[in-house]
Amino acid sequence: MNSINPDGEQFSYVGRFRISPFVLCYGCSRPVRNEHSYCFIGDDSPTYRFYCKLCMNLFS
């Protein structure tokens, strides 16, 4: 899982992070609390996107 390609943009996997108090999942917009979110950064722009475990299971 090195990259994810939503909307034709290239994103590279950074790692799993726990952000307090929460972060919204880019895929389903639900708050991710008390668990790790999966972080991606845009290759062309410094845009971060966070995904929950459920969305990551759907992508893989």
Q: Domain containing 41: what range?
A: 3-59
Could you report the per-residue pLDDT of 8-54, keeping only the tens digit for each?
A: 778 889 999 998 899 999 999 999 998 899 999 988 878 899 999 99
Q: Average the pLDDT over 54-58 and give the result.
A: 91
Domain count, the chain: 1
25 by Cβ neighbours in 10 Å (0-12 / 13-18 / 19+) ranks as: buried
pLDDT of res. 45: 79
pTM exceeds cut of 0.85: no
**Nearest residue to 40 (alpha-carbon basis) of 57, 4, 30:** 4
